[in-house]
Chain A
Amino acid sequence: MQYLPNIIFIILLVVGVGFFVKNISKLRRNIFLGKEASLTDNKPQRWKNMAKIALGQSKMVVRPIAGALHIIVYIGFVIINIEVLEIILDGIFGTHRLFAVLGPVYDFLIGSFEILAFLVIVAVVIFWIRRNVIKLKRFFKPEMEGWPKNDGNLILYIELVLMTLFLTMNAADYQLQQMGADHYVAAGSFPISSLIAPLFENISVSTLMVIERTAWWAHIAGILFFLNYLYYSKHLHILLAFPNTYYGKLTPKGQFRNLQSVTDEVRMMMDPDADPYAEPAEDAVVPDKFGASDVQDLSWVQLMNAYTCTECGRCTSECPANQTGKKLSPRKIMMDTRDRLEEVGKIIEENNGEFKDDGKQLLNDYISPEELWACTSCNACVEACPISIDPLSIIMDMRQYLVMEQSAAPTDLNNMMGNIENNGAPWPFNQMDRLNWSKES
């Protein structure tokens, strides 16, 4: 039974990672329900954006307090993961502090992990206070009720517990090292946990070992749990921020996509040689529907945007419509898109890989026309997003559906469009009068 812990550990690891891989493949399937978008251009710029915005957190610091705290947690998690590698290897091989052979380098590593872990705890506590005591306005919009609010807090609790377990494990280890306990070679430096260790002073070696082992197991189990929590949480951004910034928009923010199907149509209309009575070719494909009424009408990047959103609400707090009390919230657009996409994904699973119409869609069942028509297309939400999410593109695609498939524009806009059609201006003025201003006093 000597190898029982190793076997249990390997099973835990395989199950944890396996479940995660399964969720990732679900995630991929859902994202690729979206339409193709060819974004293979300008790779150097894309890598640069990813390095700057995701890796370098350049847009986080636009809000300095949240930005600085976020960078602490981010660096903490990235760097402490080196320790997770050691834990995994120890678990598999039944060793203890395998990397201790690195000597002074190891001391430095463990020391810096400890300081980072402590800073992460401080940052997480401040984050919690911002959400629950100060109650920052952007965390209390209607779309944040229920699961999104709990999700936000749960992530903070998990991080707090993981860091505490890490430091407890180290403190017990340090104390055991001091006591010269078997198996616990003196290795590592413990600037933070050595301050906790005095709490363990009058505890026996065997009890301390139980504490150390419990913290060790709970820590790695917690990490595997957290890994699998991601798919169900807004916290997916820790992975998706990277591809999302890579595939972010490179063209000017004001440039909206021209629909190719419409271009073809317009070209044909303008072509004097085109036969207006021609029958469509035998193999002619049915034209795509215009715009988007459900998630499958959006591009896969827009769907990835939805999974990437971490519901920070910077978009909504910068949105002029939301600031003046309208229903539109760009964050809600992203959350609704993800919720509907998840729903569609479930239907596909229940029907052996095929989507069956459930009588619902993104439009109306999730996002109302009232929200869509409140948008000024000002790009404040796009600018505000720290990880290159584009809620505006979804709003515009859905407007396109409303107008081009349903003729469901507000009356005022129909009048405006009628004027453009008839006299080339949004107001009912004659095109022949366009130069009158030059003769008026």
Chain B
Amino acid sequence: MASELKVPTMAEFFASGTVPEVLFWVGCAGSFDDRAKKITKAFVKILNKANVSFAVLGTEESCTGDPAKRAGNEFLFQMQAVTNIEVLNAYEIKKIVTACPHCFNTIKNEYPGLGGNYEVVHHTQFLKQLLTEGRISMEGGAFKGKRITFHDPCYLGRANGVYEAPRDLIRKLDAELVEMKNCKQKGLCCGAGGAQMFKEPEKGDKDVNIERTEQALETKPDIIAAGCPFCNTMMTDGVKNKEKEDAVEVMDIAEMIATAEDL
């Protein structure tokens, strides 16, 4: 089915002298992580269906530098940032959409100070906008009446105040949105942020993702919805740890929409 995906690159647009409506920043997880690649593809399917003119940087994309900065390596972060900004500015990019809240936060908030000024949106915001503009339609289908709880990614929610776009999309799927004990401003981290994804946790009583998964399972969900590839991994691991993988699925909102639309 993959052959059906239309994934034009910025280089191709540039060669033909045209500009896309939006740049899809795929991110490292979305490019390389097997689970996250499914999210990337689902999002592209929706973009293709809606005939959105978009492009990716492909091999010209590089890590935003977020994990380096959060780990304390400001130098490496700025090297990455400045290099990426040179590429983005060379292509005269105006608008960027990404399915990764970490890329979203970094490009939106930390690139402007280094010369990179773009309108940056999270894919849930972008999808919400497509829906409002009537460019995609959504019917619950497979998700009608399902209990779905949404795990707020820290870098989307608290860090940038985006709480409603993902929730609006879930409601549009005719699903029953149930909230966890800690949600929105008080949402509990999945345990991956601040470069924790790439290291073993410090000694403690339990892992953060287990604590968060327990909160999610308390809502008796059919699906745990996520909006971040790292949260997705952490929650998937948590559900496996609780041996609930047959009953509860962890899905990105883009995947849910693509599934509902049978893409």
Contacts and interface: CB of A to CB of B under 8 A. Distances in A.
Contacts of A379: 154, 158-159
A396 B70 CA distance: 7
Interface residues of B, number: 75
A318 B186 contact: yes
B198 A426 contact: yes
Given A378-B194, A399-B71, A427 B59 contact: no
Given A431-B62, A434-B58, A255 B105 contact: yes
Contacts of A213: none
Interface stretch (A189-197, A259-267, A348-356): A259-267
A133 B82 CA distance: 56
Contact of B189 (A378, A409, A436): A378
Interface residues on A, range: 35 or more
A327 B202 contact: yes
Contacts of B17: none
A159 B213 CA distance: 44
Contacts, number: 226
Nearest to A424: B62
A103 B66 CA distance: 66
A318 B195 CA distance: 19
Interface stretch (A2-10, A78-86, A89-97, A413-421): A413-421
Contacts of A409: 71-73
A378 B73 contact: no
B1 interface: yes
Interface string B77-90: 01110100010000
Contacts of A437: 26, 30-32, 37, 40-41
A376 interface: yes
Contacts of B148: none
Interface stretch (B137-145, B170-178, B204-212, B219-227): B204-212
A416 B105 contact: no
A427 B109 contact: no
A328 interface: yes
Interface in B1-17: 1-3, 5, 7, 9
27 contacts: A252-B105, A252-B108, A253-B159, A259-B74, A263-B114, A265-B75, A290-B74, A325-B203, A327-B202, A370-B202, A376-B193, A378-B193, A383-B158, A401-B72, A412-B199, A413-B198, A415-B198, A416-B198, A417-B76, A424-B62, A426-B28, A427-B28, A435-B56, A437-B26, A438-B5, A438-B41, A438-B44
| In the A-B complex, the 4 residue pairs with the closest CB atoms | A254-B159, A325-B205, A377-B194, A399-B72
